[in-house]
A = this chain, B = another copy of it.
Amino acid sequence: MTKHRVVVVGGGFGGLQFAKDMKHPDATITIVDRRNHHLFQPLLYQVATTVLATSEIAWPIRSLFRGRPDISTILGEVIDVDLEKNLVLLKDGNTLPFDTLILATGARHAYFGRDDWEPHAPGLKALEDATTIRRRLLLAFERAEVEKDPETRQALLTFSIIGAGPTGVELAGIIAQLAHKTLVKEFRNIDTRTARILLIEAGSRVLPVFPTQLSEYAAKALTRMGVEVRTGDPVTACDERGVTIAENFVPSRTVIWAAGVQASKAAAWLNAPSDRAGRVQVQSDLTVLGKPNIFVIGDTASVTIEEGKTVPGIAPAAKQQGKYVAKVVMARLAGRSSPGPFRYRHLGNLATIGPSAAVIHFGRLQMKGWLAWWIWGLAHIYFLIGTRSRVAVALSWLWVFLSGHHSARLITQKETLKDEV
């Protein structure tokens, strides 16, 4: 008997959880990803801001499944799905036949129709984004050190973060710390404490998914750390010189985008209805309408909780969906009845602001300050994959905590080789 072929596209939180849970003697699983590594995105901003090294938060997908001979891993870029022949099409011309398909292709940052802003305001989704932002941050200080014109110097020392969700808040806090503490003694011609860090939010408050009083606490904590919080006005323009907030132009040579995401192209591959963020509208069992053997999970899926409310694009949600789909597929293979519709269990929201400052919202529990910060840290270490990374990240944080120095402050430059793939 030929085995049931399951193809998983995407090695993020959802795809990985599915593969871990999905075990059946009559099934083979193939995981395809454009990158060779799973990335722990919740800590990516710490790579961008020189606290952690890339290898502390990313692991080769195939090494995670070395003990599972039923799982193959393929490095490849999916460009389409053939719905008639049940084939996944790869960019290199290869095809992967499937009996069951799991699309867990995630999201990228989106510029709401202003894609021309991307070169000036990079977002933060992949490891390369993080090293790009790290390079820009560090180069801005280096250039300011040798710049003679005071206006240009101030523009170099002005950092703008667009969007005040958890990522924006975390970036602003840590850049403020870098400029106002870590780097102070290392420059001779500039005072890095004169650096301006702007956190720009079109909505009325920072951390809009949190209760109002936690937003207020976060805004105050950021202000105390030296961040200028600008809420209520959108960015209307963005180029290599700076950003325009409503009608005011602010010269700023480093701009980071933390304002919005767009789901991957899975909806187009499936020719399926999608929501405004490009997410595929799925059935209550996470399958695509009319395609009971195709599941969409994680940031690529739009899953309704109640009227007008969808499952948020966070790691725990993707993992729950991966777990659920594994149950559904295994039930089908065993000829058992389906486990019923997917139910999202919201565990809560966490965001860190700076040293000893974080906010937590778990159901009726609201918490802020140093205890919240420790819970945030322990939760993130716990969810890292593997003892090695847990020890390495704990050590990096302990080092920053004790010495105040960041250990990953490297500007790595562009490729010089031309034939790179």
Contact = CB atoms under 8 A, between A and B. Distances in A.
A107 interface: no
A146 B240 CA distance: 42
Contacts of A67: 185
Nearest to A35: B411
Contact of A145 (B74, B122, B389, B412): B74
A193 interface: no
Contacts of A327: none
B415 A122 contact: no
A132 B399 contact: no
Interface in A54-107: 54-56, 58-60, 62-63, 65-67, 69, 72-76, 92, 94
A53 interface: yes
B410 A127 contact: yes
Interface of A: 35-37, 53-56, 58-60, 62-63, 65-67, 69, 72-76, 92, 94, 118-120, 122, 127-128, 131-132, 135, 138-139, 142, 145-146, 185-189, 240, 388-389, 391-392, 395, 399, 403, 405, 407-421
A55 B395 CA distance: 14
A186 B62 contact: yes
- Number of copies of this protein chain within its complex: 2
Nearest to A409: B60
B66 A420 contact: no
A416 B417 CA distance: 15
Contacts of A92: 146
Given A118-B417, A119-B417, 13 more contacts: A53-B55, A54-B410, A62-B187, A66-B185, A67-B185, A75-B142, A75-B145, A92-B146, A127-B412, A128-B412, A388-B403, A392-B407, A415-B415
Contacts of A53: 53-56
Given A62-B186, A417-B132, A388 B405 contact: yes
A189 B119 contact: no
B36 A74 contact: no
A72 B54 CA distance: 29
A157 to B, nearest CB: 15
A60 B50 CA distance: 11
B413 A128 contact: yes
Nearest to A130: B412
9 contacts: A54-B410, A55-B408, A60-B186, A65-B186, A74-B146, A118-B417, A120-B419, A128-B412, A388-B407
A54 B131 CA distance: 12
Given A185-B66, A412-B54, A36 B142 contact: yes
A411 B36 contact: yes
Contacts of A391: 395
A35 B374 CA distance: 36
B122 A417 contact: yes
A69 B63 CA distance: 47
A76 B146 contact: yes
Contacts of A392: 392, 395, 407
Contacts of A186: 60, 62-63, 65-66, 73
Name the residue among A63, A395, A407 with the largest chain B CB count within 10 angstroms.
A407
Contact of A410 (B60, B76, B132, B399): B60
A415 B56 contact: no
A405 B67 CA distance: 13
B413 A35 contact: yes
